[in-house]
Structure 1
């Protein structure tokens, strides 16, 4: 069976959806994705869930650890592992 360059599988469409969401998709990728979205319920459902998840993550305003704090935690963990091994 000859593979079409314009029609993509569900797996490829989900990958294109992820790329488009993070602004990494080319114009041609977006066209292929929109073509797939126009007729595939599974891809549309994935697209909706993915969009909703990204929106919620962006709204969360989570405070992350500073690099210094992460480094201190790493050192303490390594120290604790050494003490357990001894």
Structure 2
């Protein structure tokens, strides 16, 4: 069975493709769809520009994420505080 490649994609699909491009997960056909679509869609073109800027800023910022153990400790602390708050309410 032959699969057809649709060149003109809807805006929702193009936004997803834009995100894939940001994380370098887009195929060549996805990139083609994105580039053709942003030629005529001002909204998606602006979204793509904004997304690219965001990616550059995040890379420049050298943000460090918490490791799994820190996240779990924070989650447990928050859960404990919420339970205590619920018990204090009349």
Q: Same fold (TM over 0.5)?
A: yes
CA 1:79–1:51: 2 relative to 1, 3 Å: same
Gaps of 5+ in 2: none
Moved more, 69-78 or 28-37: 69-78
After TM superposition, the runs of 4+ consecutive aligned structure 1 residues lying more than 6 A away are none
In structure 1, stretches of 5+ residues that fail to align are: none
1:16, distance to aligned residue in structure 2 (A) = 1.4
> What's the TM-score once normalised by structure 2's chain length?
0.72
* 1:48 Cα deviation from its structure 2 partner: 0.5
TM-score normalized by structure 1? 0.74
Q: CA 1:82–1:41 in 2, change beyond 3 Å: closer, same or farther?
A: closer
- What's the C-alpha RMSD, in Å, of the aligned pairs? 2.2
